[in-house]
A and B are shown apart, each in its own frame.
Chain A
Amino acid sequence: MYTIVQQRPDSIYDLFERKDGDQHVTHYCPGCGHGVIHKMIAECLDDLGVQDRTILVSPVGCSVFAYYYFDVGNVQAPHGRAPAVATGIKRSRPGSIVLSYQGDGDLAAIGGNEILHAANRGEDITVFFVNNAIYGMTGGQMAPTSLLGQKTTTSPFGRTLQNEGYPMRVCELLAALEAPVYLERTAIFDSKNNMRTRKAIRKAIQNQIDGLGFSLVEILSPCPTIWKMTPQDARKWLNENMIPYYKPGVYRDKTAPPTKSIVTLQAASGSSSAASEAGQTPATKVPADNAVEPSSPPPAPSRRTARKEVPLVEVPSLLGIRATERPGETSGSAALLGNYNERSRFFDSTVSPAPPRSEAGFFPSTVPEKYQNPQIKIAGFGGQGVLLLGEVLAESGMLSGYRVSWLPSYGPEMRGGTAHCHVRLSQHEIGSPLVSRPTILLSLNKPSLLKFLPEATPGALIIYNSSLIDEPPVRDDIETVPLSATEIAEKIGSPKVANMVMIGGLMARTHLLSKETVFAAIDALVKNQALIELNRRAIEAGMQAVLELEAVLQS
């Protein structure tokens, strides 16, 4: 039993002011291992001089109130999630020393996934796993570490292999992972084992100070209250029942200098006889990791050193945000946020939409009225570059000063079959970005034409890929332009640029977009220089084809 009498470590509060009732003693039961372990951890923190840097994550379980006692930064985590919480803290404060303190239900049952993955990532944290083979706080329910035959309130007939399976050995489980640098199981029941526990705790914290990676110490700990034993009997029970199944020892140590020899570890005192009595082989030798895996990689360097400092002024350009010259004007979101605040009051915009922003002379005055503010649907099969076609239109529309929107299609079509997208270019604010009644339909294959032709508004412009569509669309209230996009694209060098041929056709027909803006859009969207060239030629060829067609029709 840990009674706090005289000198407490600095990392433990002198008076437990966060606690109700007697603030001089812990809430732990007499003979409980938690108090002893707390004191050991606090002494190590003192010794290693990291009290200020330490953040302790407490679990759900008897040690949920660890923050009553530890004079360090404290975070109380949801049940089982302490390793994830610790990950978040450590990644955010790489210079801190993050300890996760968990019981068996917390770590091995509900938090099984979190501990597994934190260990597998080699998080630079230290985990203290207190295993007492039972749920303490909630009154004695079965834990994943409860022993076979052990009676608990939820295994009243004793844990069975058939119903609950084997008790879970956490150190052994985690030792299957490459990343952990240090895994050791110790026990609290006599001075020798307590000493070993203290050493392990210290080492696990030191590893984090050194930035070596993930360390876990599993501590077998008595729970006299729930085991319904005297503290003395509880220690005896632990020795005789837990030790044989949960063999103390080092299960992983990548911190030691490499050696070829088998490291001999002593089992906990008395465990040999206890194990023999239980008919099991005592574990006198546990192979250290560096012995079985001489070629295993060295521990990853601390993430602390990997972090780069980026000055705030460089952030926008790293995000690809280009500065504009707008003297005296609040830019971007700041201005818009101002608007939001104003919108907290009623505002009623009955005024007509904003006038077109044709200041740069972008709006070619030659756009026939019927093509203005088009609602465009682009459709074809997957792989024809339908979405990119739409993106180029939207990007160049934006560069031309239009309001634009681009909406990809959803649904099973995305996985093979047809693909389509909705593009709007408008001189006014765009309401719905959905194009349900297209005024322009760019159709790259036959199924898409059949599907979307009925949606087209009367008077709509249909440009279709006549290379793949043998029958012209039949509707007498629409305008159709056949364009052998795939053939033209093949002549240029790749059928893949048929989408760009379609853009060229649209440009020649409607004058909605200038060649300069479309080329600029392609430069912005396509990274490969050779492809940019190919795309440009395809656009020009598409324009040419439609102009020739118009010339033929006019003559």
Chain B
Amino acid sequence: MSKELIKGNEAIVKAAILAGCRAYFGYPITPASEIAEAAAYYFPTVGGTFLQAESEVASINMIYGASSAGLRCMTGSSGPGISLMQEGISYLAGSELPCVIADIMRGGPGLGNIGPEQGDYNQMVKGGGHGNYHNIVLAPNSAQEMCDLTILAFELADKYRNPAVVLADGYIGQMMEPVDFPETAQEAPVKDWAARGDAATRKNVITSIYLSHEALEQHELRLAEKYRRIRESEVRYEAYQVSDAEIVLVGYGIVSRVLKSAVDMARHYGIRAGLFRPITLFPFPTQQLAEISMSTERFLTVELSDGQLVDDVRLAISRRHPCDFYSRMGGCVPSTEEVFDVIRSTISHPAECNEAMAVPMGLHAV
């Protein structure tokens, strides 16, 4: 067996190094600190750079520098730290610099707590910094996917010259599961657009400033075209038991794991439930959900946030059907039984009632 029982956070670090990443800059924060700790050990071990920056503001700008210099590089943080990075992320997107950012989401606005939540959805998926841009956002739901999607994140980041985010919650980050790592390490690609400090790249300039209005508009249109291509080619998702489903549950990350168990439980009791799990949050699998909504009328979005994911689900199904919504927050994660109860009550309500039910049921359902 080559499988290793490992925390998702550590799997990210090993995967990054296997993907050719040799520079990590970050600032510790629970529940993402294992990333910085593992990086502090493994990056120097393989001849790479690990630096604990003075702040997340500095970390993301060191990433800006390392990416400008043509390295595969990454940082990791959680909600409050990600908020501080937003300026830098906007610059990275504007200057079209690839990098990988792991966000291991924690609870609450403000200091909140260190429990798992999914409240960073909007700030990562919709672009929490200024200006028109998108991050590529991948949402793992196991330690294995923390590895696989980190590798994919590096590939997509370079392919599109764009920041890529591994968006997980505290549970996915700190849970241990067996991971099958690739047994060969990749060589990082050579980037001819970078400023590498050599004659070949001396004429290169990395910048996000376009002084003339027309030039900036052209630049933003170019970015928009890139995001269109990403939407077209990079959607990834998992659909489980949806073809005959009378109700499709939608969720990502740790929630999708609970939902899968809830689907099995519901099927056991004769309810034809299915699961739709977006693996890419940007690009969002809008088209695929729309197709499902042709054959399924009932949707239930479950998330550890106050209705962030459900907006995208509702857009995708174009209000052809209502989408119910169940939320837990503050570090609370619904149990399989809890979700099963919600499924039952959703199913037993006539369809026209569901718009009214589109409120956080977590408030009154226990």
Contact = CB atoms under 8 A, between A and B. Distances in A.
A93 B197 contact: yes
B11 to A, nearest CB: 10
B66 A315 contact: no
B122 interface: no
Contacts of A322: 2
A52 B64 CA distance: 21
Contacts of A320: 4, 14
B205 A18 contact: yes
A398 B197 contact: no
Interface in B94-128: 95, 113-116
Contact of B258 (A81, A91, A95, A432): A432
Contact of A85 (B49, B68, B208): B68
A73 B65 contact: no
Nearest to B114: A410
A201 interface: no
A51 B69 contact: no
Given A74-B195, A346-B239, A96 B69 contact: yes
A434 B258 contact: yes
A496 interface: no
Given A74-B206, A333-B151, A333-B181, A88 B68 contact: yes
Nearest to B2: A324
Interface stretch (A188-196, A209-217, A363-371, A400-408): A400-408
Interface in B257-300: 257-262, 264, 274, 279, 288, 291
B216 interface: no
Interface stretch (A283-291, A305-313, A500-508): A305-313
Contact of B152 (A75, A318, A337): A337
Interface in B1-51: 1-5, 14-15, 17-18, 22-23, 25, 42, 45-47, 49, 51
A333 B15 contact: yes
A321 B181 contact: yes
Contacts of B47: 307-310
A336 interface: yes
Interface in B155-185: 170-171, 174-178, 180-185
A416 to B, nearest CB: 15
Interface of A: 18, 20, 51-55, 57, 64-65, 67, 71-78, 81, 84-93, 95-98, 113-114, 116-117, 307-310, 312-313, 315-316, 318-324, 331-334, 336-337, 340-341, 343-344, 346-350, 391, 394-395, 398-399, 403-408, 410-411, 430-434, 436-437
Given A76-B207, A88-B67, 17 more contacts: A65-B209, A71-B202, A73-B196, A77-B64, A81-B58, A88-B73, A319-B181, A344-B236, A398-B178, A399-B1, A405-B175, A431-B262, A431-B336, A432-B335, A433-B171, A433-B177, A437-B337
Interface centre among B176, B206, B238 (most CB of A within 10 A): B176
B218 interface: no
Nearest to A319: B14
28 contacts: A65-B209, A73-B195, A73-B202, A74-B206, A81-B58, A84-B57, A87-B65, A88-B63, A89-B66, A92-B70, A93-B70, A95-B197, A96-B69, A96-B196, A97-B197, A117-B54, A310-B47, A318-B45, A321-B4, A340-B148, A340-B236, A348-B241, A350-B241, A350-B243, A395-B5, A398-B5, A403-B178, A434-B171
A333 B22 CA distance: 19
Given A71-B202, A113-B54, A88 B25 contact: yes
Interface centre among A54, A74, A84, A92 (most CB of B within 10 A): A92
Interface string B224-256: 000000000001111111111000000000100
Given A54-B197, A399-B1, A333 B147 contact: yes
A73 B181 contact: no
Contacts of A51: 202
A321 B5 contact: no
Interface centre among A84, A307, A348, A350 (most CB of B within 10 A): A84
Interface of B: 1-5, 14-15, 17-18, 22-23, 25, 42, 45-47, 49, 51, 53-55, 57-59, 61-71, 73, 87-88, 91, 95, 113-116, 144, 147-149, 151-152, 170-171, 174-178, 180-187, 195-199, 201-209, 211-212, 235-244, 254, 257-262, 264, 274, 279, 288, 291, 331, 333, 335-338
A346 B295 CA distance: 14
A321 B42 CA distance: 12
A433 B175 contact: yes
A89 B197 CA distance: 9
A323 B5 contact: no
